[in-house]
Chain A
Amino acid sequence: MLWYKAWLETRMRFCIALVLCVGLCSELIISLPRSGSGSVDLVGLHGVHSALVFVWTLGVTLLMMGGLLSERAGGSSSFTLSLPVSRFHLMAVRTLVGAIESIGLAAAPWVAMLILAGHNGEPRRYLTQAGLHILLLLGGGSVLLTMTLLLSTLIEGEYTAPTASLGIIILLAYTFSGNDLVAYSPFAFMTGLRYFNRRDGALSGPVPWIPALYFLAAAACLFAVSVTIIRRRDF
């Protein structure tokens, strides 16, 4: 039933973020120039993906609002902690629901984009393009999701934690934008600038599984730290 609670808690924010992500991407796709066959090329899709990264990051920050510390500020943490479930279980369900909704926020705009863009007679290529971009978005985004989770375990207040998260995300984006650190930047990974050819929009090289795994490992570490903090905290 913790899933039910997490869904009720986040569904409004999820719907708002979903409408924003799908709406923005659809609008951008519609406004792009089209080839002779009436479809948008892969370069166009890749460009719209960069805009999706921005809105998706905002959406995930919104989705990860809440948690025990936020409930403590509102007074309901006592009820949650009196339930026969561990703090790890509470956090795991919240994170998984956040992750599933984040996947939805990444996939739904791409479905809309593919439908609106057409496929220039190459449906498989377009689908692969979508899959790769979603992989990159979720791989790098997992770090942002768990970082927001971590901040929600450190900063009390319903709106303080997401506001701080956005501030830190902007700071990180700026810090990692330098040439030396760009390889470690989750933002650069999410946009896929290093992995796609700017002329034809095709993947230039193998699928970057290793960096994706690195980011997932970093996300797992952030999750573990968050759980440790919550386990030790007095409510």
Chain B
Amino acid sequence: MTWEPVIQLHNLTKAYGQAAAVTGLNLAIRPNQVTAFLGVNGAGKTTTIKMLLGMIQPSNGDAFVLGTSIRNAKDSVSLRRDIAYVSESKQLYDYMTVGQILRFTRPFYSDWDTGLEKELLDTFELPLDHRIKSLSKGMRTKTALLLAFARRPKLLVLDEPSDGLDPIGIEQMLQRLVTQCSEGTTVFFSSHQIAEVERVADNVCMLHRGSLVLDSPMDQLRESYRQVDVGFSHPIDPSAMLMPGVENIRCDGRQMRITVRENADLVMGRANDLGAISVEAAPVGLREIFLEKAGGPKYCSGTKPG
């Protein structure tokens, strides 16, 4: 590893009684890049994020954010000056107006950019004199995003940032994310919106039932993942197609759909050797990968991954 990770998890675990929310996470987040954190509801994304921010104590393991251990409560306070966070709920103080929450938040951060604050107020069309209570969900999300962006933090952690935003708002948010990243901010965000992730993420991590099931640069995913459709004229044992890199095999009569993490050429070669009458490989989108990973591996009966 030639880069210094902005976030590094070492066997990070959180359990509530017998139920494990996050299990032995090991992960390193690259600096100055956008990393997406995917997973179905309840996969452990928010729990992981909250552990990184010191809101939840880990049951085991440790994590370092900007070089500081999350177990160090004293350093955690100063660490939060360099991190901006937008929570899943986007809830702010209902009793404040937009102007009041800006006045309240600004003094906590010496690097607050008032020029950017004005720019974002215009872009997001936020009414300064309106109470947060009276704002729509989208406007509340925009307010939370403004409070995070205007700080120019070293690390931006966003939990479902597009939740409640209309398409224009999503576009504005994504553009801002890319801009912040190009200006030196590391972005770590969780999302269910695969299309957004594909557009802006440099790296993708995926959690499933509290465990990391994917950690890869986006380019590598695009290059290496393939879906291989194979047709046979005769019945064939699907286990014959099991080999390193095969993630999933679905069978429909004499047709097989094989999801391949790597070595697609070898899989196609094996199919040809077994007398396949048709072999076709196509790139796999992140959505398909997500569904495969989140749904867990599904193999034809009697087969196990290679």
Number of interface residues of B (CB under 8 A): 34
User: Complex: how many Å from CA A181 to CA B89?
Assistant: 48
Q: Known contacts being A82-B80, A86-B77, is A1 close to B104, with CB within 8 Å?
A: yes
Contact call B104/A78, Cβ cutoff below 8 A: no
Q: Known contacts being A81-B54, A235-B50, A235-B56, is A76 close to B93, with CB within 8 Å?
A: yes
Contact call B55/A8, Cβ cutoff below 8 A: no
Which B residues are in CB contact (< 8 Å) with A81?
A: 53-55
Q: Known contacts being A1-B107, A5-B93, A83-B108, is A78 close to B78, with CB within 8 Å?
A: no
Contact call B55/A75, Cβ cutoff below 8 A: no
Beta-carbon nearest neighbor of A235 in chain B: B55
- Quote the shortest CB–CB distance from A124 to chain B (angstroms): 43
Which B residues are in CB contact (< 8 Å) with A1?
A: 103-105, 107-108
Q: Known contacts being A5-B93, A9-B93, A235-B50, is A79 close to B87, with CB within 8 Å?
A: yes
The reply to whether the CB of A84 lies closer than 8 angstroms to some CB of chain B is yes
Contact call A86/B73, Cβ cutoff below 8 A: yes
**Residue from B78, B100, B144 in contact with A79 in the complex, judged by beta carbons closer than 8 Å:** B144
The reply to whether the CB of B96 lies closer than 8 angstroms to some CB of chain A is yes
Contact call A85/B77, Cβ cutoff below 8 A: yes
Q: Known contacts being A75-B89, A235-B55, is A82 close to B104, with CB within 8 Å?
A: no
- Quote the shortest CB–CB distance from A235 to chain B (angstroms): 5
Interface digits, A1-36 against B, CB 8 Å rule (1 contact, 0 not)? Answer: 100110011001000000000000000000000000
Contact call B91/A75, Cβ cutoff below 8 A: yes
Q: Known contacts being A4-B103, A76-B93, A235-B56, is A84 close to B87, with CB within 8 Å?
A: no
Q: Known contacts being A78-B91, A84-B81, A86-B77, is A234 close to B96, with CB within 8 Å?
A: no
Which B residues are in CB contact (< 8 Å) with A86?
A: 73, 77
- B44-102 CB contacts (< 8 Å) to partner A: 50, 53-57, 73, 77-81, 83-85, 87-96, 100
User: Complex: how many Å from CA A8 to CA B78?
Assistant: 25
The reply to whether the CB of A38 lies closer than 8 angstroms to some CB of chain B is no
The reply to whether the CB of A74 lies closer than 8 angstroms to some CB of chain B is yes
User: Complex: how many Å from CA A12 to CA B105?
Assistant: 21
Contact call B91/A8, Cβ cutoff below 8 A: no
**Residue from B77, B87, B103, B147 in contact with A78 in the complex, judged by beta carbons closer than 8 Å:** B87
- Quote the shortest CB–CB distance from B15 to chain A (angstroms): 12
Contact call A4/B104, Cβ cutoff below 8 A: yes
- Quote the shortest CB–CB distance from A197 to chain B (angstroms): 46
Which B residues are in CB contact (< 8 Å) with A82?
A: 53, 55, 80, 83-85, 87
User: Complex: how many Å from CA A121 to CA B92?
Assistant: 55
Q: Which of A5, A8, A76, A78 has the most CB of B within 10 A?
A: A78
User: Complex: how many Å from CA A7 to CA B89?
Assistant: 24
Which B residues are in CB contact (< 8 Å) with A77?
A: 55
**Residue from A4, A75, A234 in contact with B57 in the complex, judged by beta carbons closer than 8 Å:** A234
Contact call A78/B85, Cβ cutoff below 8 A: yes
Q: Which of A81, A85, A86, A235 has the most CB of B within 10 A?
A: A81
Beta-carbon nearest neighbor of B76 in chain A: A86
Which A residues are in CB contact (< 8 Å) with B55?
A: 77-78, 81-82, 234-235
Beta-carbon nearest neighbor of B49 in chain A: A78
Beta-carbon nearest neighbor of B84 in chain A: A82
User: Complex: how many Å from CA A129 to CA B131?
Assistant: 44
Contact call B95/A79, Cβ cutoff below 8 A: no
Which B residues are in CB contact (< 8 Å) with A234?
A: 50, 55-57
Contact call A84/B108, Cβ cutoff below 8 A: yes
Which A residues are in CB contact (< 8 Å) with B80?
A: 82-84
Please, could you name 21 A-B residue pairs with CB atoms under 8 Å apart, sorted by A?
A1-B108, A8-B93, A8-B104, A9-B93, A75-B90, A76-B89, A76-B91, A78-B87, A78-B88, A79-B85, A79-B147, A81-B53, A81-B54, A82-B53, A82-B80, A82-B83, A82-B84, A85-B108, A234-B50, A234-B55, A235-B50
Binding site for A on B (CB under 8 A): 50, 53-57, 73, 77-81, 83-85, 87-96, 100, 103-105, 107-109, 144, 147
Binding site for B on A (CB under 8 A): 1, 4-5, 8-9, 12, 74-79, 81-86, 231-232, 234-235
